[in-house]
Structure 1
Amino acid sequence: MGRKAGRLHISPKKFGSLQKPCMKEMITFLNCLALNHNSDEKCVRQKDLLNTCMDAQTSKSRKPWGSINYHLQRLSRGRK
């Protein structure tokens, strides 16, 4: 799945397990929703924790250039 004929491609499955920053908060929020039959009013604390974690992740500086697959395809086009 990660390899294509004639093109360079990196499988994203290898890199999926590197970083999952808000996984614990999301699991606690989803467990709270499951226990309370999808009632948001009873899971306000878990929802706030998840929102603060997600906001902290978006404020981190991201690399302005695209994904590695985009650059590999761009380089392979230039070689032809």
Structure 2
Amino acid sequence: MGRKVGILRINPKKFGSLQKPCMKEMISLLNCLGLCHNNDEKCVRQKQLLGTCMEAQAGKNKKPWGSINYHLTRLNRGRK
């Protein structure tokens, strides 16, 4: 199911299933910062975990379904 915009079909359910690989680490860092009143010295472990996770994600493909520029070009060709 989805909404139709012109002839393009948009499936909103597809966008809800995108992976958020470092979300747990980021939430734990933000919780620690909130509890410690933004004191970085007390949240070193959470900061290291988030940094490690983000570095691991940098080596992977960014988006398996293509870049936004590719899709914008494709849509632009269809409008002409």
The question of a shared fold, defined as TM-score above 0.5 by the shorter chain, is answered with yes
- Cα gap change, 1:31 to 1:16, in 2 (>3 Å): same
Identity over aligned pairs, percent = 60
Counterpart in 1 of 2:78? 76
Question: What is the 5 A alignment of 1:1-80?
Answer: 4=5, 6=6, 8=8, 10=10, 14-62=14-62, 65-67=66-68, 69-77=71-79, 80=80
Query: Per residue, is there more strand in 1 or in 2?
Result: 2
Runs of 4+ in 1 over 6 A off after TM superposition: none
Structure 1 portions without partners, runs of 5+: none
Higher RCO (C-alpha under 8 Å, 6+ residues apart): 1
Q: TM-score, normalised by structure 1?
A: 0.70
Aligned Cα root-mean-square deviation (Å):
2.8
Query: Per residue, is there more helix in 1 or in 2?
Result: 2
Q: Distance in 2 between matches of 1:58 and 1:9?
A: 31
